[in-house]
Amino acid sequence: MHNTAISINGLNKYYGVFQALKDVSLDVADGETVVICGPSGSGKSTLIRCMNGLESYTDGTLEVLGHTVGDDTKELDRVRKRVGMVFQSFNLFPHLTILENCVLPQVRSQGRDRTAATVEAIDQLKKMQVDIHAEKFPDQLSGGQQQRVALARALCLKPDIMLFDEPTSALDPEMISEVLEVMQELAREKMTIVCVTHEMGFAKSVADRVILMASGQVVEEGTPDQMFNDPQHEITKEFMKVVSG
Amino acid sequence: MTEVIGAPMRATGPVAWARRHFFATWYDAIFSVILGALIIWSFNALISWAFLDAIWTVENKDQCDHGAGACWAVIQDRGRLILFGLYPYEEQWRSTLACLIVIVTMVLSCLPSFWSIRRIPILWTVGFGLFILLMRGGFAGLPLVRSEQWGGLSLTLFIFCGVFILGMPLAVLLALGRRSSLPVIAKGTGLFIDLFRSLPLLTILFAAAVVVPLLVPEQIQGSKLSRVIIAFAVFFAAYQAEIIRAGMQSTSQGQEEAAVALGMPYWSLVMDILLPQAFRNTLPSTINQAVITFKETSIVTIIGFFEVMASGNAAIGSGEWGNQYVEVYVFLALIYFVFVFGLSRYGSWLETRMRLGHA
């Protein structure tokens, strides 16, 4: 058992001369739900994408579940097998049915046999209340349904950590709540969650900690209560004013 | 009360339809009449030539030169030459059977239920293997027929399928190579592709047939036909690789990221996610490339192979049937048409099917 699920120390990332992450340090404990927010271009997506190696970083250290996320591809594989991710644009495989979207990764990434994978897939789809669509193709589903399938697909692999990169930003307003509800459920089950989002309602209801980033730096962090009601930093005050309308 | 104004009344029925589409203005009317007359006249002429005035059998070739229509007797007399080329007469049933086998294989591999990494290679190994065994013979009492004697339609199909079987996997490898993150591989495959695309097919085939034997030791030269097919396949692959690469680039970055984030290995990312989508995205261009390749097989005539086109030329070249060249070319055109039209119909069927979401 690791008490620290994710441990980030002095992380820097440059795109050419532009510095996307500036000396970011952050620890996420097992079972904790951390919400990262901040204005666009603040580096929050870059940071979460570093956590499973979708982005590389220039220097610093990044450990996930005791594995170093870096150039070592074997270590990276171990991390990816235990860390699920949900994207803003769902990224379901459009040429596969909903069921196959959930079965194939289990077979290919964990070597499960098809029958067991199918049972697991249907189970997860049921939990996300999209099992009636199992035989359909992704483009036949609404955005909210697709995102719940994407979550089911990730959960089929029994991850220890879930990363959410703006999971509701591409959704129509009336579909946001159906995705947030299943995420809240997951947080209550003590899944370790890192979520980049603008949905402050989600942060207030289930986050253990809220982190505000701006210009590639962690500006302020604290419990939702501290961050919403008693922000210390000017940028945080400004941001909270904007997002709470 | 608001007055309800309906849409303007539109006259219906065939007369109104014709008026709207063909006789809307005076110049529309003139063009319609002239073109209509031309179409009717040529259709009429074609039917009379091909069927009504045509001669189907003759006792003596001179009869042909006096008829007003086509003389299809030439096909009866020389059909075997056109279809089988120089393949030994008594063994031509093997060539027929081989053709049927390879056509069945082609049709089967067009069915979506056969599209799997396991089924397609098995199907083609069996189908193509049987084709070669039958054509070549040399076992179980079947006399050996060397590939130099192969000809006609079976040779055309053999070259087309051979080019496709070798070229397609090579095209995939080249496309992947060009996307490689290693600059040496990416630049190297890029250079290879551009080199073969910038050379004329004829030059490449000539080099394979004539120049390679001068440079390469005899033991590893292989037959002339196999060299030509390999060279043709490389040429095909250079074009097809660019089509596949475009297809992979048009799948969103997110697809690759999702697969990577799910921990799927590279081969699975390529075989399960990128390639199926790349082929779907580029289906029209791939079918187009297949059609071009099928028609370009006739170029091997130049290096001394009697595929169906060359056999057709031979059928009229002997002089006896020299006046019936139109009939022979029409017959050849029909053969090409059946295959190429089949391919394009298949392509549009697939496209519709995919738009509906099933694939």
Q: Name the residue facing A105 among B262, B280, B357 (closest C-beta).
A: B262
Q: Does B263 contact A89 at a Cβ distance shorter than 8 Å?
A: no
Q: Which residues of B are less than 8 Å from A140 in CB distance?
A: 357
Q: Smallest CA–CA separation between A170 and chain B, in Å?
A: 14
Q: Which residues of B are less than 8 Å from A67 in CB distance?
A: none
Q: Does B263 contact A157 at a Cβ distance shorter than 8 Å?
A: yes
Q: Which residues of chain A have pLDDT under 70?
A: 1-2, 245
Q: Confirm if B156 and B308 have CB atoms less than 8 A apart.
A: yes
The strands making up A192-196's β-sheet, listed across from edge to edge, are A83-86, A161-165, A192-196, A33-37, A209-214, A217-222
Mutate to test the interface with B, among A64, A73, A83, A95 (most CBs of B within 10 A): A95
Quickly state the pLDDT bin for B36 (edges 50, 70, 90).
very high
Q: Does B257 contact A89 at a Cβ distance shorter than 8 Å?
A: no
Most confident of A183-192, B7-16, B83-92, B278-287: A183-192
Burial of residue B336 (CB within 10 Å: 0-12, 13-18, 19+) is middle
Q: What phi and psi values does residue A28 have, to the nearest 5 degrees?
A: -120, 125
The strands making up A18-29's β-sheet, listed across from edge to edge, are A18-29, A4-15, A59-64, A67-68
- Residue listed under structure tokens 């170029």: B299
* Domains with residue ranges and CATH for chain B: 78-355 (1.10.3720.10)
Q: Does A80 contact B262 at a Cβ distance shorter than 8 Å?
A: yes
Residue B149 and residue B78: Cα distance in Å, rounded? 17
Q: Smallest CA–CA separation between B281 and chain A, in Å?
A: 11
pLDDT of residue A1: 46
Q: Does B276 contact A52 at a Cβ distance shorter than 8 Å?
A: no
Q: Does A108 contact B264 at a Cβ distance shorter than 8 Å?
A: yes
Residue A203 and residue A228: Cα distance in Å, rounded? 10
Quickly state the pLDDT bin for B268 (edges 50, 70, 90).
very high
- Residue listed under structure tokens 């075989």: B271
Q: Does A105 contact B264 at a Cβ distance shorter than 8 Å?
A: yes
Residue B4 pLDDT more than 70?
no
Q: Does B265 contact A109 at a Cβ distance shorter than 8 Å?
A: yes
User: For chain B, which residues lie within 8 Å of any Cβ of chain A, measuring from their own Cβ?
Assistant: 252, 254-255, 257-265, 268, 272-273, 276-277, 280, 357-359
Q: Does A54 contact B359 at a Cβ distance shorter than 8 Å?
A: no
pLDDT of residue B113: 82
Q: Does B261 contact A77 at a Cβ distance shorter than 8 Å?
A: no
Q: What phi and psi values does residue A9 have, to the nearest 5 degrees?
A: -135, 120
Q: Confirm if A241 and A212 have CB atoms less than 8 A apart.
A: no
The one-letter code for the residue type at A166 is E
Q: Confirm if A35 and A203 have CB atoms less than 8 A apart.
A: yes
pLDDT of residue A245: 61
Q: Which residues of A are less than 8 Å from B350 in CB distance?
A: none
Enter the tokens of residue B189: 């495959």
Q: Name the residue facing B357 among A84, A110, A139 (closest C-beta).
A: A139
Q: Smallest CA–CA separation between B163 and chain A, in Å?
A: 28
Q: Strand runs (DSSP E) across chain B, as ranges?
A: 151, 306-307
Q: Is B236 helix (H, G, I), strand (E, B) or coil?
A: helix
Residue B1 pLDDT more than 70?
no
pLDDT of residue B18: 85
| Closest-approach residue (CA) in chain B for A100 | B272
Q: Smallest CA–CA separation between B183 and chain A, in Å?
A: 18
Q: Does B261 contact A54 at a Cβ distance shorter than 8 Å?
A: yes
pLDDT of residue B9: 67
B249-278: b or e for each residue (b if 16 or more CB lie within 10 Å)? eebeeebbbbbbbbbbeeebbbebbbbbbb
pLDDT of residue B137: 87
Residue B229 pLDDT more than 60?
yes
| Average pLDDT for chain B | 87
pLDDT of residue A157: 95
Residue B137 and residue B231: Cα distance in Å, rounded? 25
Mean pLDDT, to the nearest integer, of B324-339? 89
Dump pLDDT digits (tens) for B273-322: 999 899 888 888 998 999 999 999 988 888 888 888 888 888 887 677 77
Residue B125 CB neighbours (<10 A): 12
Enter the tokens of residue B114: 């056969």
Element (H, E) at A75: helix A73-82
Q: Name the residue facing A91 among B257, B263, B272 (closest C-beta).
A: B257
Q: Name the residue facing A95 among B260, B268, B277 (closest C-beta).
A: B277
- Residue listed under structure tokens 């591809």: A73
| Closest-approach residue (CA) in chain B for A108 | B264
pLDDT of residue B55: 81
The one-letter code for the residue type at A221 is E
| Closest-approach residue (CA) in chain B for A111 | B264
pLDDT of residue A243: 81
Q: Does B272 contact A109 at a Cβ distance shorter than 8 Å?
A: no
Q: Does A108 contact B265 at a Cβ distance shorter than 8 Å?
A: yes
Q: Which residue has the higher pLDDT, B341 or B71?
A: B341
Q: For chain B, first and last CA: distance in Å?
A: 55
Enter the tokens of residue A200: 């402050």
The total number of residues shown for chain A amounts to 245
Q: Smallest CA–CA separation between A93 and chain B, in Å?
A: 7
Residue B359 pLDDT more than 60?
no
The total number of residues shown for chain B amounts to 359
Residue B117 pLDDT more than 80?
no
Q: Confirm if B309 and B316 have CB atoms less than 8 A apart.
A: no
Dump pLDDT digits (tens) for A158-206: 999 999 999 999 999 889 999 999 999 999 999 999 999 988 889 998 8
Q: Does A85 contact B261 at a Cβ distance shorter than 8 Å?
A: yes
- Single pTM value for the model: 0.82
The one-letter code for the residue type at A157 is L
Q: Confirm if B323 and B65 have CB atoms less than 8 A apart.
A: yes
- Residue listed under structure tokens 């609404």: A142
Most confident of A46-50, A201-205, B44-48, B118-122: A46-50
Q: What phi and psi values does residue A134 have, to the nearest 5 degrees?
A: -50, -35
- Residue listed under structure tokens 């000539």: B206
Mean pLDDT, to the nearest integer, of B19-35? 89
pLDDT of residue B168: 93
Q: Which residues of A are less than 8 Å from B257 in CB distance?
A: 54, 87, 91
- In the DSSP assignment, the letter for residue A20 is E
